[in-house]
Each structure stands twice: as C-alpha cells, then as structure tokens.
Amino acid sequence: MCGIVGIHSHQPAAAELYDSLIQLQHRGQDAAGIITCNEQLHIKKGLGLVQDIFEARHMERLKGTMGIGHTRYPTSGSRVNEEAQPLWTSVPNGIAFAHNGNIVNYPAMRYEVQENRKRYLNSYSDSEMLMQLFADMLLKHLGSGPEGSTHHNQFFDSLCSAASEMFTLVQGAVSAVMIIKDRGLAAFRDPHGIRPLVYGKRENADGTVDHIFASEDTMFYMLGYTRVRDVKPGEIIFISHDGSFNSRQFAEKSFTPCIFEYVYFARPDAMLNNVNVYRSRLRMGENLGRHWLRTYPDVRPDVIIPAPATSNTMALALARELGVNYSEGLYKNPFIGRTFIMPDQAQRRQSVRYKLSPQELEIRNKDVMIVDDSIVRGTTSKEIVLMLREFGAKRIYFASACPPVLQPCYYGVDMPNSDDLIAASMTHDEIASYLGADILLYQTLEDLVEAVTRKGDHHIDTPCTACLGGGYIHLSEEHRPCVS
C-alpha cells in the first residue's frame, strides 16, 4: 500500500508532483521520491515524510514537464534509501518507475530476472525486479519492431506486448506509473485491478491537455484536474511525448479490488473504482448498526465515540441507526502518523497515547461504544479501552466496521504473519477479554461487501477479501508465498 502519481503536463511538473505526494502521504510515511524528465531524468528521494525530504534547492533541480512520484509503505525489501521510489534504469531509452502493490511470486521472478535475463538488481525490492523485468521485455519487443519501433503507435504496441507478457509470469498486485525518456508517460494496472489507479485530465486555455494518474483522485480538484475514470484492470494507458492518448486493455480477469482500501487506506474524499469511499463508510456504519440491533436489541450505549479518524464516518452512521448521541470523545493529534502502518509493534503501542487524548466529560459514568474501522493486531484497540476505563467509563462496547482479519495479505498490506493477527489465534470471547471490552461486535463479511458494492457503476465482480478469510486471487494453497 503506497501512493503513486504520474503527470504529463505543459508546465513544470515538480511542484504539482510534490503537492500530489502531500495528498497521498496517508498511503505511506516511510519514504518518498520524485523523478522528472526533460532531456534527462532528474531525481530526488529520501526516507521520511514528504515535507522533510524536499527543500527548495531540490525542487529547482527537478526540471521537466513530465514526472512521477511515490510515497512508500514497505511490504517488500527493507527500510533503506536504495529502495525508496521512484526507481530508474537506463536500458531501454531510460525508464523511471513507481509501483503500488506486491508481487507474490517474487523469489521465482527475482531468479528469472537475474539468472535468465541477466538484469542486475541492486536491492530486494519487488518493485525494482518488476521494473527490470518490464524493461527487458520492452527492449525485446522494441527490437522486433520495424526500425526499432520509432513511431509512437508502434512503440505503444511494444508497450502493450511487454505488459501482456509480463503478466503471464508475474502474480500479485500492480498499479504502476512510468516515464520512458523521449517517449512519454505510461500507467498500467494488473488484470485483477487489486490496487487503485485513477486517471484525470486538465484542459488549458490554449487548448492543450495535461494528464494525471494517481492512486487516489484526492489532489485532482486542487490542481485543476477533472477525474475521467479509473484505469481498468489489465489496461495500459500511454501519453506520448506529443500528448497523444493511447489505451488498450491487454488482459482482463475477474475484477477484485482490495476491500481494505475502503475500510482504512483511502481518504474519505476519494472515488475508487467508481465507488465513493465516504459513502461506502456511511453504509458500513449503517450495516453495523443494524447488526447490533439484531444481536443486542435491548442494549444501548449512552454515547458512540469513533477511534479517530478513519472510523468517524462509520460511527456517525451507526449512531444515527441506533438513535444514540455521537461524540468525538477521543481527540486525535493530527501530527502523529497512522499507527497501523508504523514499522513495528512497539512504535504502534507507544504512539497510541501520543496521538489520542480522551475527553473526560464525554466518557465518565457512561456506557460507551467505541467504533473502529478494523481490529488487526489489537494493540490500538486494547490501549483505547484501557484509556476509557481510566477516564471512568461504566461499560465499554467495541464495534468493528470490518470483519475479523484472519489471514496474511500478499497484495500490498503489511499483514505478512498470522501471529500478528489477533483474530487468527484467539476466539471472539478471547479477543473481547484481551481488549477489556464488555461486548465486542464485528461487521459480517456479507454486510461489508454490500456496503462497498451497493452503489456506483463500478463493475466490481467481488472485492478481494483474502485477509478476511476469503480466497486468495490466483493462488492455490501450495503456491502461497513463504513470508515471516
């Protein structure tokens, strides 16, 4: 789960790429980078938050009207500057590459790239492997075209052939943006469309058109772009150097976008796969409220408090469904990072009390229902319940808008070890006891899927729910990756 952006413009791209990464910071706080292109590639990347990496002197060096950017949340490789993205390779043409997702058959593909294709890998990043694999396939297809496929239509054919061939080998989630020097900007998505990728354009006063691709459309309005549509599963879009638009769906399988994007990752103002994230979260709260009424018809809390901030929308809808007061009884310090994507358990636990401050008047001597988007490891949930006890809550009910997280995710969410997942090793009653909650209620899987898919011309076959106990996409039991 990272944030990517690509811009093909008629004005310098660096400032807009920076602004876009600020709007995608919630998708990755480990590292960030920008590559722009004019006669050559210009790069700046580093570890940490976007505003801590880029200074005025760096922005001045990022020349060109075309560029890509990335905010990193590591699920493959390690936290070193060499694995910060975007990445680049010189052959063919000069390619810069930014990737959101995860390759599940990475060991086999690493061997393929290094041993069979003799491409050098400088890290253990699956993104670098993917870039080198695509570059090798593109070089082969360019070489087979007439006169090296110099015409942009012939070059686009080579891009499509390389992408199609790559996905006959690669398994996993891939949303990517690329610069091909002297050629243009490309964006593509894996045939299942697991990770999001949105396309927008901006019409200039002189009649020219600028193009943008991003993990979310959260920066479009700010920069003057209009959302056009999502990049389709198995589609590649290429904006050539002269600004012409080319697209082709080179492969299509069942459309199974990640459901956790709607539960947690995406900003509420985003539109992903033609589904409004805010509205889907309202429906999650509505469905959770109805589930509570069926399960505990005679139990009502005095107040409903969200575990801020992703669950605010869900808690508001749930409170309306139950006819109970809604209160922001936990104040969140907005300058503390998202605990779920912090790199280790100790940092997550320490940060909970740094970022959340209970409001005693909303809690003392009341039956309180806490609503959270999900319970993954249980660290944050346990700390919240303990804080409410310390501030005088009489009873504490805990409601999760997401079903129990039961299995590792292999598609770009940092859930690689079942031992880290509380629901994988404890029963429902054991989890309630561990959290210290008087009642624990999880959303049902059916109600969550319904909340996401109820509205919108989305063409989703079924969301990916592998981490919630659903089937893994194109992975049989014996082919699951070995992760620890």
SS3 101: strand
**Ramachandran region of residue 369, left (φ > 0), alpha (ψ -120 to 50) or beta?**
beta
Which residue of the set 2, 160, 258, 467 is catalytic?
Answer: 2
Distance CA 484, CA 121 (A): 22
Q: How far apart are the C-alpha atoms of 368 and 388, rounded to whole Å?
A: 8
DSSP code at position 113: I
Sign of CA dihedral 247, 252, 258, 259: positive
Q: Which residues contact 221 (CB under 8 A, 6 or more apart)?
A: none
Q: Cβ contacts of residue 477 below 8 Å, gap of 6+?
A: none
**Whether 2 is catalytic:** yes
Q: Around Cβ 398, how many Cβ atoms within 10 Å?
A: 26
Q: Cβ distance 413 to 467 under 8 Å?
A: yes
Contact 364, 394 (CB under 8 A): no
Across-strand partners of 174? 101
C-alpha span between 88 and 94 (Å, rounded): 7
Kind of pairing, strands 95-103 and 172-180?
antiparallel
Contacts of 220 (CB under 8 A, 6+ apart): 198, 200, 212, 214, 226, 227
3-state DSSP percent of the chain in helix, strand and coil, to 5: 35, 25, 40
Spatial distance between the Cα atoms of 198 and 40, rounded to a whole number of angstroms: 27
Q: Is 36 helix (H, G, I), strand (E, B) or coil?
A: strand
Closest C-alpha to 247, from 341, 153, 312, 310: 153
- Catalytically active residues are 2
